[in-house]
Structure 1
């Protein structure tokens, strides 16, 4: 197997190093942290100082300010919450093999907040450079909390110097963050085409840190979003098409060599249940809101479906809640799962949270996971420590032996009837801040496995 894997990954431009797991204990662990949305404008006057000093001194600069509370529900992550989260991550994920970050380093409205703080125009060089530096600061903060652990970073919709959903393919933001993303994952681990693919659109491939014949594909699916607009350039749709071609090519390579694939991206598969429920459209079907452009969704689902047998793990964030997406084959059987992980930012009303997974190092299959959440956000401050608690273990909460595609499919089906599974899903969706309402639950349950508008309409809009 070693010689086969070595030949396989060499052909993909990936360097293979010996894995450390022993044959006697093939299980490993990894963490997933997402959607920090760091806001460096709290307090507002601090940003003026940060723009003139090295990012390595930013934490020192924040510490000089008087004691203040952590950002609360409805706001993005300030320094107090960031420090508390980093402390919990350093403690709970100390023994992991690696960490996955499915996107959103920067706060919402970053570009307008920066322009206001610096009294410059949106799009100015000063505003754009500050976005790049803040993204690098967040990546450095995560790697600093877990030194010597590979950090696999995907970009989110706020990760841009231009604006929300406005990443510029081939632009300065990608050029200025490339080295940090590459070094975080491991320069010896990323594919030979990293510079080309990341700078073109923020996507890349890398050798799996531990699974011998495993590859991780990191996507920038902001390029495929219905909301995407390349306001800083003119080749956004070309980049979106090229990324899909790149993904098709990479998956074909893995199929030819019978490799294990993990996919990391930001936007969940399928339908946005929240926006659909809050749509003001004239009828139910017209109000359905897909996350991605419909022309992309069809091609993407077909592509993923054709390679589902080798996709052991898929991770996304974006909605800030703890959820799942299932990929069904044409016979309606679940063949892959996309795990949507909680956020650190409480801007959408959830408690901050992150997850710790166990997995089989030989097969790349997930085994189980535990969620940790911040239970005292309302009292957290510079002088009051965060109370980060274990929220639940998947197998225990849902009465399963392990986390798997089949286990999530059973959870999905159990949401149709009252019971412990439905109660657990509603309670933990927002990391125990506010349970998902029983009135909204059917739409969220439909969204788990109905990834296109037609199938979701049949589930959600049926009389």
Structure 2
């Protein structure tokens, strides 16, 4: 008997010791489970294949596999005057992303975060005035050829990101520019969306690809799983929600958006029933477009409603759905403004729901005079919440001899432990009350709003901007601004 016990002990003591160590160290085990998940967020790439107009015909004829080589060639001798002529025919307010800048940004992303667990791209892969520029440079091309060129550009941007991070899931939303009819113009159940389904689903986890491809073909939406336990991401093509939306016959049909709301709520209800957590991502954010409101001289304190990014009633419908499922929505990711913004969806007085944190991601494109930037994030693996992020910005907008450096870190700058509604509310409440922007937090927000802090608009109109942080409807925004006026 003694010998039998000895033999058993000799064989099994390592496993028993391991079990005892784990049992005696619950804090260590929990610490390992809570290790943050590194991820990467970028948006508004707006790749410009027309930067060297003389190369466009070559790109049009070439397969996507040859685009990198073509775009890497030295610019044509006539490029300066060709670009001026193209700008005169198809004006754009600034410069979109040349390939050199896009390539430089991907290189910097790899250097800063060589092993992200996942990547989000919150829309607008192609450049502004895309259709006008293609038609100006290739006037004899068929409509079908133009559609193919759009699809090739979206494919190229997606492929370049995936090639930079092999095997990493890449979740991409379509933006208002990502359409073949024109900016803000798209048909549901279209050939373009079918092509987009094939392109975007290729970067998803294998188990999600087939269903995502089918759903994208309908209305640009899809569901996939993040590499975080029991967490799904719901991606919307919310172009259909925009106040500027029209279908390709310019009817502005609201039915796709209504169908999307039904789909979104069904997904959120299913996630709640299965004890899952959710991220929601789209391109155009809910809430007030402060810049457009100011440019249109809206007298919001005299019954002229502020301009919202989304159609007024769809804006309120979307925020209502997100707030009613705020217990499962751990983060909403948007972009579109090209700026680095924090927002919080908070139910208005008497309404049911739970606050939802919104992160608006700065752009790679410098078209608005902003410095190109991307965002590195840390995600809590068990709660699927954003723990921290820091923004990395470029030294110039060309991609030539460009250096990328940290602009700021969220936790260090605002002294907030994580990016959750509970942690954000005191900070954002204080920002909303600071109508003169005198606090250190307000000064930081104003400085970081434009990557590099070079443009003054948000500082000049801080009283208006700070009201957009926690007020997503035109009504609540007006109440905030008009209270300050009193």
TM-score, structure 2 as length reference = 0.84
1:84-141 CA-to-partner distances (Å, cap 9, x unmatched) read 11211222231210000000001111011111111147x8222121111111111111
- The answer (yes or no) to whether the contact 2:42–2:121 under 8 Å persists in 1 is yes
Q: Secondary structure at the match of 1:337?
A: strand
Q: Where does residue 127 of structure 1 map in the other structure?
A: 146
1:195-251 CA-to-partner distances (Å, cap 9, x unmatched) read 33211110000122x222111100111111000001258794222211111111111
1:246-293 CA-to-partner distances (Å, cap 9, x unmatched) read 111111111212210111111112110111111144665425101111
The equivalent position to 2:473 in structure 1, one of 439, 452, 460, is 452
TM-score, structure 1 as length reference = 0.88
More helix by share: 2
Aligned residues: 436
Q: What is the CA–CA distance in structure 2 between the aligned matches of 1:252 and 1:345, rounded to whole Å?
A: 36
Q: Where does residue 46 of structure 1 map in the other structure?
A: 55
- The answer (yes or no) to whether the contact 2:305–2:475 under 8 Å persists in 1 is no
The equivalent position to 1:364 in structure 2, one of 341, 365, 384, is 384
The equivalent position to 2:178 in structure 1, one of 126, 148, 159, is 159
Q: What is the CA–CA distance in structure 1 between the aligned matches of 2:481 and 2:35, rounded to whole Å?
A: 42
1:296-326 CA-to-partner distances (Å, cap 9, x unmatched) read 1222222111100111111001000000221
For residue 23 of structure 1, report the CA deviation from its aligned partner. Answer: 4.0
The equivalent position to 1:217 in structure 2, one of 213, 219, 234, is 234
Q: Where does residue 24 of structure 2 map in the other structure?
A: none
Q: What is the CA–CA distance in structure 2 between the aligned matches of 1:288 and 1:329, rounded to whole Å?
A: 19
The equivalent position to 1:194 in structure 2, one of 185, 207, 212, is 212
For residue 55 of structure 1, report the CA deviation from its aligned partner. Answer: 0.8
- State the structure with more CA Rg: 2
Q: What is the CA–CA distance in structure 1 between the aligned matches of 2:463 and 2:279, rounded to whole Å?
A: 29
Q: What is the CA–CA distance in structure 2 between the aligned matches of 1:371 and 1:73, rounded to whole Å?
A: 25
Question: Is 1:272 aligned with 2:289?
Answer: yes
For residue 406 of structure 1, report the CA deviation from its aligned partner. Answer: 2.8
The equivalent position to 2:422 in structure 1, one of 403, 406, 413, is 406
Q: What is the CA–CA distance in structure 2 between the aligned matches of 1:391 and 1:435, rounded to whole Å?
A: 17
Q: Secondary structure at the match of 2:94?
A: coil
Q: What is the CA–CA distance in structure 2 between the aligned matches of 1:81 and 1:232, rounded to whole Å?
A: 36
Query: Given the superposition, is the C-alpha separation of residues 435 and 281 from structure 1 closer, same or farther in structure 2, using an over 3 Å criterion?
Result: closer
In structure 2, stretches of 5+ residues that fail to align are 1-29
Q: Where does residue 164 of structure 2 map in the other structure?
A: 145
Q: Where does residue 265 of structure 2 map in the other structure?
A: 248
Query: Given the superposition, is the C-alpha separation of residues 126 and 344 from structure 1 closer, same or farther in structure 2, using an over 3 Å criterion?
Result: same
- The answer (yes or no) to whether the contact 2:286–2:318 under 8 Å persists in 1 is no
Q: Where does residue 106 of structure 2 map in the other structure?
A: 86
For residue 398 of structure 1, report the CA deviation from its aligned partner. Answer: 0.8
The equivalent position to 2:187 in structure 1, one of 161, 168, 181, is 168
Q: Where does residue 286 of structure 1 map in the other structure?
A: 304
- The answer (yes or no) to whether the contact 2:151–2:196 under 8 Å persists in 1 is yes
Q: Secondary structure at the match of 2:177?
A: coil
Q: Where does residue 3 of structure 1 map in the other structure?
A: none
Q: Where does residue 359 of structure 2 map in the other structure?
A: 339
- The answer (yes or no) to whether the contact 1:326–1:334 under 8 Å persists in 2 is no
Q: Which has the larger displacement, 280-289 or 300-309? A: 280-289
Q: What is the CA–CA distance in structure 2 between the aligned matches of 1:120 and 1:442, rounded to whole Å?
A: 50
